[in-house]
């Protein structure tokens, strides 16, 4: 096994995302790295041309040699990329619900971005093999489960506030994001594959107790707010769904103008896979 750093993981992810856009778009991710005296380790700041991803000095210098640690670091980066690619910094939060909705979207879309990067990102996959030369789909799925548990313990719980979805729910949102990627990858969700994926993630991360007992009373309002906020953003920033090379745009765009019925059916299908299988 080899080692890598938060900086190298971030630069590989940024380069891969940039490569998913058509060259004519000249899309670049503005970033500010090795930031000292930063509150937290990762954030989006600024607006317009000044919008950028910021990563702390400690985050960039962090060295690791385990695949689950790589996924942990990449998950944090992908959450911020979700905010960045969806222009969340251009949306003014007026209520706690606004913040919860945008953070929910970043958890879900961030999980999709993660799966796209570890599947199609040439620099990301090369760096992952540097950490673990014997990397394979099963090892990756196990590492996703372990890293998700660490994210829950070290970020979702510690950073819990009324501006974010509750920690347990964030785990479910992330899993739904992984499944959204596979739904697009396969064109549907093959039941046997989905069961195997969920069992592996939940068992490796000891997550079974986290997929139940959370408050769902706010979810309908959150989904409505996610849709309305992103519909507004899409009108102002068409790059949210354009500019991608066709293959990658299929995985990295969402049609917020889809009918409410279609969105509801898709969400219910994903929730069914998460909630109805025996995961203990």
The mean pLDDT values, 10 residues at a time, for the chain of 280 residues are 94 97 93 94 92 97 96 98 92 86 93 96 96 92 97 92 90 93 87 92 92 70 82 80 83 63 54 47
Q: What is the pLDDT of residue 277?
A: 44
Q: What is the pLDDT of residue 272?
A: 55
Nearest to 152 by CA among 83, 205, 99, 80: 205
Count of all residues that appear for the chain in the document:
280
Residue 182 token pair: 């596979």
Q: What is the DSSP letter of 148?
A: H
3-class DSSP state for residue 94?
coil
Question: What's the Cα-to-Cα distance from 94 to each of 49, 100, 165, 169, 235, rounded to whole Å?
Answer: 23, 11, 16, 22, 19
Q: pTM of the entire structure?
A: 0.89
Q: What is the pLDDT of residue 257?
A: 46
Q: What is the pLDDT of residue 123?
A: 97
Q: What is the pLDDT of residue 215?
A: 66
């Amino acid at each position: 096994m080899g080692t890598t750093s938060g900086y190298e993981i971030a630069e590989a992810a940024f380069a891969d995302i940039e490569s998913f856009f058509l060259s004519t778009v000249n899309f670049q991710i503005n970033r500010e790295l090795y930031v000292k005296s930063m509150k937290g380790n990762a954030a989006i700041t600024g607006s317009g041309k000044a919008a950028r991803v910021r990563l702390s000095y400690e985050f960039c210098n962090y060295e690791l040699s385990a695949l689950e640690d790589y996924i942990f670091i990449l998950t944090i980066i992908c959450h911020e990329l979700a905010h960045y690619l969806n222009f969340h910094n251009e949306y003014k939060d007026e209520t706690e619900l606004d913040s919860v909705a945008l953070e929910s979207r970043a958890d879900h879309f961030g999980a999709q971005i993660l799966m796209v990067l570890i599947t199609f990102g040439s620099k990301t996959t090369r760096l992952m093999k540097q950490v673990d030369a014997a990397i394979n789909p099963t090892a990756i799925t196990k590492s996703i489960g372990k890293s998700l548990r660490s994210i829950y313990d070290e970020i979702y719980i510690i950073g819990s506030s009324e501006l974010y979805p509750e920690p347990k729910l964030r785990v479910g949102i992330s899993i739904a994001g992984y499944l959204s990627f596979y739904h697009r990858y396969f064109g549907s969700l093959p039941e046997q594959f989905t069961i195997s994926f969920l069992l592996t993630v939940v068992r490796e991360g000891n997550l079974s107790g986290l997929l139940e007992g959370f408050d769902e009373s706010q979810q309908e309002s959150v989904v409505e707010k996610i849709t309305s906020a992103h519909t507004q953003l899409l009108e102002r920033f068409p790059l949210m769904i354009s500019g991608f090379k066709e293959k990658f745009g299929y995985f990295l765009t969402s049609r917020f103008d889809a009918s409410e019925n279609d969105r509801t059916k898709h969400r219910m299908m994903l929730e069914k896979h998460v909630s109805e299988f025996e995961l203990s």
